[in-house]
Amino acid sequence: MTIAIPMLSARDVSKALVGPEGRIDILAGIDIEVATGASVAIVGASGSGKTTLLGLLAGLDLPSGGGIRLDGHALETLDEEARAALRRRLVGFVFQSFHLLPALTALENVMLPLELEGESAARRRAREALQAVGLDARCGHYPYQLSGGEQQRVALARAFVHRPRLLFADEPTGNLDRRTGAGVAELLFELNRAHATTLVLVTHDAALAARCGRTLELVDGRLVDGAPA
Amino acid sequence: MNTLRLGLRTLRREWRLPELRTLAAALLLAVAALGAVATLAARVEAALLASAAELIGGDAGISDNRPLPPAVAAEAQRLALTVNRSSTFPSVAFNGTLSQLLDVRATDASYPLRGTLRLADAAGRIIDGRGPAAGTVDLDHRALVALDLTVGDRVQIGGRELTIGAEIVREPDGGELFAIAPRALMSLADAEAAGLLGTGSRVQHRLLVAGSAASVDEFVVWLKAHRPPDAELITPERTQQRLRIAFDRAGAFLRLSALLSALLAGVAIALSAQRYARRKTDEIALLRALGAPRGQVRALVLVTLLGMALPALLLGALLALGLSSAAWTLARGLLPGTAGGLPLLPALAAAIAGLALLLGFALPPLARLAEVAPVAVFRRGARQRVRALDALYLLPVLVAVGLAWFESGSFRLAGILAASLAGVAVIAALLATLLLALIRRLAPGAHPALRLGLAALARRRALSLIQATALALGLTALLLLAVIAPALLDRWRAELPADTPNWFALNIQDDQRMPVTTALDRLGARKLNRLPLAVGKLASINGVPVASVHFRDRATRDWAEQQLRLSWSAVLPPANTLVAGRWFTADPAQPQASVEQGWAQRFGVKLGDTLGFRIGEDTYTARVTSLRKVDWTSFRVNFFLLLDPAHARALPHSWLASWYLPPGNAPALAAFNRSYGNLSLIDVNALLDRVRDIIVRVTAAVRWVLGFSLLAGALVLAAALASSAAERRREAALLRTLGASSAQLRAAAAAEFALLGLIAGLTAALGAAATGAWIAASVMDLPDFVPPLPTLGLAALAAALGVMLLGLAGTRRVLATSPLALLRRG
């Protein structure tokens, strides 16, 4: 019998900041376990700590207490360089504001993660990824020449192009109208299924959250339904 | 909405923005540099003029061969100027049976107004003297030897018995190379009483003035309008060819340095303004969306800009005054001889120039802000390009040329600088475009980190082009100041090596050649050079007697009637260049002559013409077979007319010698002169010292200016690198989120900046070399100047390295940007 190592786990994670008015607890007592291939939605009101949690889970920041394991690696034992290397290898991102580099064409934006890995076939693979999101005709376009929906589809192509095992999506439809948002969400889940990627999704959108296998709610920095999956 | 209030509120919020601070700093630096340099230049110029005034014995004056009208002296007195009146004429002095033709200056007691008259009294003590009292005369050593007299004896000049008061050691205006007759200095009253100044005598009347610069200037302006038709103006700038060239060069150096500092600041301002405009685009789009009309946006930008600029301009002007004052005090030892308070005008002019610089360089990007479409609120890329505004980009060029002209007062220097810098900008942009295109092809095969950096450069194409061009311009200006200017100064200094001949002797007879040579060798004279010298007069041109030739002006006719010094040489002497015809063949069938081109032009002489000379009792006719250009700054003995030795050898002649003798040998030389009493010794140390003095002063002043320029250059570099900082930070945060290692980010940045630095460095080295050679030939009169290419090459590499290190230092903050910030922004 083999024991399946969860793709992502957090144990008693807390995050506090010391500001001019003293210590502020942003997150406390967070326990999460996300199995490989699972999809989890984190919902909560503005200021509940969703983005902070996402940042901690992705290794962009370190918790004040507790521990996080990403594919078995304890993030708190790794320095920023090692965490970056882990992200490069395992993680993809989709942001609310797309975060495409304005000076790069759609194709060049998608090539970025591959270039970081030193992939020699970056251009071909990026073109294929754009094809997969239906934008192969827009390879040479700059972000400002694309609509919001198109920009987010480029961002999706960039997120999946290096076949990450874990995808973090932060309000991926937050800046889009309902119809376009639905299209992008459809594409996101489709790619997720096709690549068998583990998905951690932060959203306000109940309908989007409902498409995930599990939903966790953050209220004032604590998970309301924090039972391990 | 009150635009002024909104503008000031915006300013209060934005004055901490790095680009506005850079803009303010550049402005402040430009005003301080221009103001301080202008004040310093004015001071150096004043010191140099004072130095030249010492050589002529006054600040300005007038000279005529007819008595000067009383109105001249009256005008000088009206302007409260001190006046010295003197007359020079040849006169024979007698001591019993001995007689000697003297070159006499009769002067009133105010002589000299500037500089010092060195005399030796009966005991041989050196004293500073004035014009002699009535009844006394001062004679130079040659006159004393020729007449067998000593100080205290009596001598007869113009029928009057005068007592020899002192021996003339050095006159302030003793810098002329050829004063053939021995000198005497007597009182003007005696000369008038003796009738020596009467009509018919060959008298040159001179009136010199001294006083405040403003009064002297006013006097010169008056003189130009009221002088008698043939009178000649005497001004320090016009007096000495060698000094005039030194002045011109000195001025060009100072102006060049100040200009480059200002233009560097202009580039920094342009870069900062562009960055500010980019940052403001969103805000302006919002204001436009909320209904602000274009005019209001324009007013808002202008209020913000001026609100920030005016204090910077004021501070810059104050700083300029403070710095000039400090420089003034520090440089007192360097620039002695000028009095007066700190002039305020240069600082004010600099503040106005700073305002022009600000509007000229900052307006083009900022004017576009008013054209931001309200729809840009929804889509950042939705920008309208208003073609009419493209013409605004001519503004910096116009301001730069205008400023160059205003500052240099010279179209030539302004034109060369403008053309050179424009050339550098075009070459840098072309080279950058070419390399960026090349990168696009080559990058896919490169190392991943390198590829990332090169790709980043290629992707930020427009910004990279601006950066490369700005860096190239900044580095060109720095290389011009740091490498070319010192090399030019060295080249100038090399024209006057330490052993430049400082003594000349005339009238060496054929049988004295060997003993004089031996005696001078014994004294330790170096660089001894001897030339034959025949003295005659121009008798005819193409067979027409001089008296019948129509000359273009009276000065030329006077010149034609004066004594002419002729020499001969088998080879073209150093400091001479053949510009037309051929040099003498070994044994020509008929006598040949080589003529200096200026002389030929003045007398209307061409190749093939014949010139007749009267030498002693003989007439000598030669055909002009070549024209020469002579470097009159060379401190060598040069001649307007050279003859072929095969024929001229037979002419009655003496020899002239030049040599270098280290200072402190005056007693030995005096003994030598006593042994050869017929020789005329001429000391050109004073003149040499003046020219060297000018070089030293200019070198020091240029070094001062260089400090400003280095600061301005550093600002340009900082502004150029900062112009892409926001993009770089955003990019770094994203790359970090996507898993880029810091080594990857650093290597990418290093590759990017090194390439930028290399493009800029190479272009700048080439640009500085070309501009340097052009300025040397056209402005500094140093045609054979070769730019120090190896130094420039090294400097270019160092610049590339410097840009890379500066860029990497700037990237440290970028690397420290938390990737989490990206998530926070949404």
CB neighbours of residue B585 within 10 Å: 11
Give the structural domain span for A187. Answer: 8-223
Predicted confidence at residue B666, as pLDDT, reads: 66
| Weakest mean pLDDT among A157-171, A198-212, B246-260, B650-664 | B246-260
DSSP state for residue B174 in the 8-state scheme: T
Considering the domain boundaries, does residue A229 fall inside one?
no
Alpha helices (runs of H) in B57-196, residue ranges in sequence order: 70-78, 141-147, 188-193
First CA to last CA across chain A, in angstroms? 20
CB neighbours of residue A86 within 10 Å: 19
In the predicted structure, residue B141 carries a pLDDT above the cut 90: no
Give the residue among A211, A214, A141, A215 at the shortest CA–CA distance from A182.
A211
User: Which residues in chain A are closer than 8 Å to B742, comparing Cβ atoms?
Assistant: 80-81, 84
CB A172 within 8 A of CB A6: no
Predicted confidence at residue B628, as pLDDT, reads: 93
Mean pLDDT, residues B226-242 taken together:
71
Record: contact B826-A97, CB cut-off 8 A: yes
Listing DSSP states for B539-584 in one string gives: EEETTEEGGGS--SSHHHHHHHHS-EEEEE-SSPPTTEEEEEE-PP
Contacts of A226 (CB under 8 A, 6+ apart): A29, A30, A31, A32, A216
Q: How far apart are CA A199 and CA A192, in angstroms?
A: 7
- pLDDT tens track for A60-109: 888 999 999 999 999 999 988 888 888 888 999 888 888 887 767 899 88
Predicted confidence at residue B804, as pLDDT, reads: 84
Q: How far apart are CA B462 and CA B78, in angstroms?
A: 65
Predicted confidence at residue B85, as pLDDT, reads: 92
Considering the domain boundaries, does residue A23 fall inside one?
yes
Interface predicted TM-score (ipTM)? 0.83
User: Which residues in chain B are closer than 8 Å to A175, comparing Cβ atoms?
Assistant: 826
Predicted confidence at residue B643, as pLDDT, reads: 92
Considering the domain boundaries, does residue A196 fall inside one?
yes
Phi, then psi, of A108 in degrees rounded to 5: -65, -35
CB A12 within 8 A of CB A66: yes
Cβ burial, residue B131 (10 Å; 0-12/13-18/19+): buried
In the predicted structure, residue B425 carries a pLDDT above the cut 80: yes
Structure tokens at B779: 């402005």
Residue A223 contacts B where some CB pair is shorter than 8 Å: no
Q: How far apart are CA B507 and CA B390, in angstroms?
A: 72
Which residue from A91, A103, A120 is facing B460, i.e. has the nearest CB?
Answer: A103
- Ramachandran region, residue B805 (left: φ > 0; alpha: ψ -120 to 50; beta: rest): alpha
Listing DSSP states for B261-293 in one string gives: HHHHHHHHHHHHHHHHHHHHHHHHHHHHHTT--
Cα dist. B111→B87, B117, B174, B686 in Å? Answer: 12, 8, 14, 18
In the predicted structure, residue B728 carries a pLDDT above the cut 80: no
User: How big is chain B by its Cα radius of gyration, in Å?
Assistant: 34
H or E, element range at B100: strand B98-107
Residue A170 contacts B where some CB pair is shorter than 8 Å: yes
Predicted confidence at residue B241, as pLDDT, reads: 57
Record: contact A60-B727, CB cut-off 8 A: no
Distance, CA of B379 to chain centre: 55
Residue A154 contacts B where some CB pair is shorter than 8 Å: no
H or E, element range at B471: helix B461-479
Residue A204 contacts B where some CB pair is shorter than 8 Å: no
Q: How far apart are CA B798 and CA B790, in angstroms?
A: 12
What does DSSP say about strands B564-568 and B526-541: parallel, antiparallel, or unpaired?
antiparallel
The percentage of residues in chain B with a pLDDT greater than 90, rounded to a whole number, is 11
In the predicted structure, residue B379 carries a pLDDT above the cut 70: no
CA B580, B586, B592, B598: dihedral to nearest 10 degrees? 30
Give the residue among A140, A76, A157, A87 at the shortest CA–CA distance from A117.
A87
Taking the whole predicted model, whether its pTM rises above 0.80 is answered as no
Q: How far apart are CA B184 and CA B164, in angstroms?
A: 10
In the predicted structure, residue B235 carries a pLDDT above the cut 50: yes
Q: What 3-state class would DSSP assign to B135?
A: coil
H or E, element range at B630: strand B618-630
First CA to last CA across chain B, in angstroms? 32
Q: How far apart are CA A190 and CA A187, in angstroms?
A: 5
User: Which residues in chain A are closer than 8 Å to B380, comparing Cβ atoms?
Assistant: 102, 144
The percentage of residues in chain A with a pLDDT greater than 90, rounded to a whole number, is 35
CATH number, domain containing residue A24: 3.40.50.300
CB A157 within 8 A of CB A137: no
- pLDDT tens track for B448-459: 666 667 777 776
Listing DSSP states for B769-802 in one string gives: HHHHHHHHHHTS--TT----HHHHHHHHHHHHHH
Considering the domain boundaries, does residue A160 fall inside one?
yes
Which residue from B379, B452, B738 is facing A144, i.e. has the nearest CB?
Answer: B379
Q: How far apart are CA B624 and CA B609, in angstroms?
A: 6
* Domains identified in chain A, total number: 1
Considering the domain boundaries, does residue A158 fall inside one?
yes
What single letter denotes the amino acid at residue A38? Answer: A
Structure tokens at B805: 């290190």
Q: How far apart are CA B774 and CA B782, in angstroms?
A: 10
> Averaging pLDDT over each range in B287-291, B576-580, B699-703, B809-813, which range is the top one?
B576-580
In the predicted structure, residue B720 carries a pLDDT above the cut 60: yes
Q: How far apart are CA A100 and CA A51, in angstroms?
A: 19
Categorize the per-residue pLDDT at B693 as very low, low, confident or very high, splitting at 50, 70 and 90: confident
Predicted confidence at residue B705, as pLDDT, reads: 67
Considering the domain boundaries, does residue A110 fall inside one?
yes
CB B698 within 8 A of CB B253: yes
Q: What 3-state class would DSSP assign to B345?
A: helix
CB B755 within 8 A of CB B435: yes
Structure tokens at B638: 């040069």
Mean pLDDT, residues B532-556 taken together:
85
Q: How far apart are CA A95 and CA A184, in angstroms?
A: 12
Could you tell me which residues are beta bridge partners of residue A30? Answer: A13
Considering the domain boundaries, does residue A137 fall inside one?
yes
Q: How far apart are CA B157 and CA B94, in angstroms?
A: 7
Q: Which residues of chain B approach chain A closer than 8 Å at the C-beta?
A: 379-382, 444, 448, 451-452, 455, 459-461, 463, 727, 730-731, 734-744, 818-820, 822-826
Q: How far apart are CA B719 and CA B709, in angstroms?
A: 15
In the predicted structure, residue B657 carries a pLDDT above the cut 50: yes
Structure tokens at A144: 């400002």
Placement of tokens 């600041």 in the chain: B265
Mean pLDDT, residues B589-595 taken together:
91
Considering the domain boundaries, does residue A70 fall inside one?
yes
Q: How far apart are CA B317 and CA B34, in angstroms?
A: 9
Which residue from A97, A117, A142 is facing B825, i.e. has the nearest CB?
Answer: A97
User: Which residues in chain A are closer than 8 Å to B820, comparing Cβ atoms?
Assistant: 55, 60-61
The percentage of residues in chain B with a pLDDT greater than 70, rounded to a whole number, is 84
Q: How far apart are CA B238 and CA A28, in angstroms?
A: 89
CB A73 within 8 A of CB A219: no
Phi, then psi, of B784 in degrees rounded to 5: -95, 25
Q: What 3-state class would DSSP assign to B682?
A: strand
CB neighbours of residue B674 within 10 Å: 11
Mean pLDDT, residues B703-713 taken together:
70
CB neighbours of residue B206 within 10 Å: 23
User: How big is chain A by its Cα radius of gyration, in Å?
Assistant: 18
* E strand map for chain A: 8-19, 22-34, 39-44, 65-70, 73-74, 91-94, 166-170, 198-203, 214-219, 222-223
Q: Which of B815, B823, B824 to mutate to test the interface with A (most CBs of A within 10 A)?
A: B823
Which residue from A60, A104, A123 is facing B820, i.e. has the nearest CB?
Answer: A60
CB neighbours of residue B697 within 10 Å: 21
Record: contact A55-B379, CB cut-off 8 A: no
- pLDDT tens track for B23-68: 888 888 888 877 877 776 666 666 666 766 776 778 888 888 788 8
Mean pLDDT, residues B408-426 taken together:
77
Give the residue among A78, A90, A99, A54 at the shortest CA–CA distance from B739.
A90
Q: How far apart are CA A91 and CA A112, in angstroms?
A: 13
Categorize the per-residue pLDDT at B176 as very low, low, confident or very high, splitting at 50, 70 and 90: very low
| Weakest mean pLDDT among B412-416, B548-552, B596-600 | B412-416
Contacts of B74 (CB under 8 A, 6+ apart): none
Per-residue pLDDT of chain A (229 residues; tens, 9 = 90+): 455 678 999 999 999 988 777 888 889 999 999 999 899 999 988 888 888 898 899 888 889 999 999 999 999 999 888 888 888 889 998 888 888 877 678 998 898 888 778 787 888 999 999 998 889 899 989 888 898 889 989 999 999 898 999 999 988 888 788 888 888 888 889 888 888 899 999 988 888 899 999 999 999 889 886 444 3
Phi, then psi, of A94 in degrees rounded to 5: -130, 130
CB B84 within 8 A of CB B58: yes
Kindly report the average pLDDT of chain B as a whole number.
80
Predicted confidence at residue B209, as pLDDT, reads: 92
Q: How far is B348 from chain A (nearest CA, A)?
A: 44
Q: How far apart are CA B682 and CA B181, in angstroms?
A: 11
Distance, CA of B398 to chain centre: 24
Which residue from B451, B739, B824 is facing A91, i.e. has the nearest CB?
Answer: B739
CB B189 within 8 A of CB B74: no
